[in-house]
Amino acid sequence: MGLINRRNLFVAGAAGLAAGCDCGAPEGLPAAAGAIRARALRMVTTWPKDFPGLGTAAENVARFIDEMSGGAIKVHVYAAGELVGAFDSFDAVSNGSADMYHGAEYYWAGKSKAYPFFTAVPFGMTASEIIGWTEYGGGQELWDELSARFNIKPFVAANTGHQLAGWFKRPINSLEDLRGLKIRMPGVGGEVMRRIGASAVALPGGEIYAALQSGAIDAAEWVGPWNDLAFGFHREAKYYYWPGFHEPGAQCAAGVNLDVWNSFTAQEQAIVKSACHRANYLCLAEFTHFNGSALEQLVKEHGVEVRKLPDDVLAALARESKAVLEEAAASDDITRRVFESYKAELLRVQKWSEISDEAFMTARRTVFSL
* 41 versus 294: smaller Cβ distance to Ca ion: 294
Smallest gap from residue 151 Cβ to Ca ion (A): 27
Binders of Ca ion in range 252-281 (CB under 5 A): none
Q: Which is nearer to Ca ion, 163 or 335 (CB)?
A: 163
Shortest Å, Cβ 247 to Ca ion: 5
- To Ca ion, the closest distance from the beta carbon of 223 in angstroms equals 5
- Cα torsion through 349, 58, 271, 38, rounded to 10: 160
The residue (of 94 and 280) whose beta carbon lies closer to Ca ion is 280
Rounded least distance, CB 333 to Ca ion, Å = 28
Collapse the DSSP code of 255 into the 3-class scheme (helix H, G, I; strand E, B; otherwise coil) and give the result. strand
Of residues 45 and 163, the one with the C-beta less far from Ca ion: 163
Of residues 126 and 163, the one with the C-beta less far from Ca ion: 163
Q: Minimal distance in Å, beta carbon 311 to Ca ion?
A: 22
Nearer to Ca ion, 69 or 251 (CB): 251
Containing 37, the helix (H) or strand (E) segment is strand 36-37
Minimum distance between the CB of residue 213 and Ca ion, rounded to whole angstroms? 19
* Cα–Cα dist 334/77, whole Å: 31
DSSP 324: H
- The answer, yes or no, to whether the previous bond of 52 is cis (omega within 30 of 0) is no
Minimum CB separation of residue 276 from Ca ion in Å reads 20
71: left (phi over 0), alpha (psi -120 to 50) or beta: left
336-340 long-range contacts, CB within 8 A, separation 24+? 337/142, 338/114, 338/117, 338/142, 338/146, 339/114, 339/117
For Ca ion, the closer of residues 154 and 224 by Cβ is 224
- For residue 315, count other CB atoms closer than 10 A to its CB: 12
Q: How far is the CB of 187 from Ca ion (least distance, A)?
A: 8
User: Could you say which residues in the range 30-49 bind Ca ion, by CB under 5 A?
Assistant: none
Q: What are phi and psi of 156, to 5 degrees?
A: -70, 130
Distance separating alpha carbons of residues 293 and 274, to the nearest angstrom: 30
**Cα distance between residue 197 and residue 190, in whole Å:** 11
- Is the CB of 167 or the CB of 261 nearer to Ca ion? 167
Lay out the site mask for Ca ion across 215-254 (x = CB under 5 A, - = otherwise): --------------------------------x-------
- Alpha helices, H only, the chain: 14-19, 54-68, 89-94, 127-136, 139-148, 187-195, 208-214, 225-231, 258-263, 266-300, 311-329, 333-353, 359-364
**Which sign, positive or negative, has the C-alpha torsion 103, 109, 114, 117?**
positive
Site string for Ca ion, 288-327 (x = CB under 5 A): ----------------------------------------
| Nearest-approach distance from CB 26 to Ca ion, in angstroms | 52
* Closer to Ca ion by Cβ: residue 39 or 184: 184
Q: Report the relative pairing of strands 166-168 and 219-220 from DSSP bridges.
A: antiparallel
**Closest among 101, 52, 121, 144 to 326, alpha carbons compared:** 121
| Residue count, binding to Ca ion (CB under 5 A) | 2
Report the site for Ca ion in 131-170 (rule: CB under 5 A): 163
For residues 348 and 341, what is the distance between their CA atoms, to the nearest angstrom? 11
**Nearer of residues 2 and 249 to Ca ion, judged by Cβ:** 249
Q: Nearest approach, Cβ of 207 to Ca ion (angstroms)?
A: 14
Indicate the DSSP class of residue 139: H
Sites of contact with Ca ion (CB under 5 A)? 163, 247
